Amino acid sequence: MEWKKGLMQIINKVKLNGNNKKFRDIIENPWGFDHSSPGAYNEASANNNGETMWQRQLYKEEACWCDLELPIGQEKREKQWGSLRVDLIGMNNARPIICELKHTEKAGQPFDAILQLLAYYCMIVQNAEKLDREHIHHTNAAQSFKWTQITNNPLLMLRANHAYWKNWEKSTKKNMAARQIVQLCKDKGLDILLVDGKTPL
């Protein structure tokens, strides 16, 4: 992954919070995968008006999505496993999509989410064969797919509601770094698409 070296040069110039450091470390050394047995995915509760409800709506309404909320990397924490889950996995014109969703009432931080998305991609690349062997899919998934297919020229999508992007035009260090990361990855053959609701930025 040629983009990793340049990525580290960009993010090392930014003051990182704890989550940033966590995902930076996963990009450098992706978590492995141990075990999981997804059953049927559940509907969002009726009083959920946030990200989970939006995720379920997109999954039902947009034909490109194959599955959602699947574990892709795990880390042993004392007596239990910590697991990270990808929000949406899809296919559009035979091109895989790995999607991270954000739904907030106030402005979010795209830099943080882009690092998270790249960390998820790195885990999927590392763990794809085992995810296939373990049949990591919901029993009521919309479409079948192979994780090894998802690693083949995927589109990485950060999709968020309009409020999340309120500060995106500001020239903050994190915003400037986020733009540099998107361009770096594009130059190295890895496409990151930023989406405001249904509108690409």
Say which residues have a Cβ less than 8 Å from residue 168's Cβ, sequence separation at least 6.
107, 110, 175, 201
Compute the distance between CA of residue 62 and CA of residue 159 in angstroms, rounded to an integer: 14
- The confidence score (pLDDT) of residue 33 equals 95
For Cα atoms 165, 74, 42, give the angle at the middle one, nearest 5 degrees. 65
Residue 195, strand partner residues: 159, 200
- Whether residue 73 contacts residue 157, with contact meaning beta carbons closer than 8 Å, is answered with no
- The confidence score (pLDDT) of residue 49 equals 66
What interhelical angle do 18-28 and 110-133 show, nearest 10?
40
Q: Which segments of the chain does DSSP mark as H helices, in order?
A: 3-11, 18-28, 51-61, 110-133, 147-150, 173-187
- Whether residue 141 contacts residue 66, with contact meaning beta carbons closer than 8 Å, is answered with yes
- The confidence score (pLDDT) of residue 46 equals 63
- The confidence score (pLDDT) of residue 165 equals 98
| pLDDT of the chain, 201 residues: tens digit per residue | 889 999 999 999 999 999 999 999 999 999 999 889 999 988 876 666 688 899 999 999 999 999 999 999 998 776 667 899 999 999 999 999 999 999 999 999 999 999 999 999 999 999 999 999 999 999 999 999 999 999 999 999 999 999 999 999 999 999 999 999 999 999 999 999 999 999 999
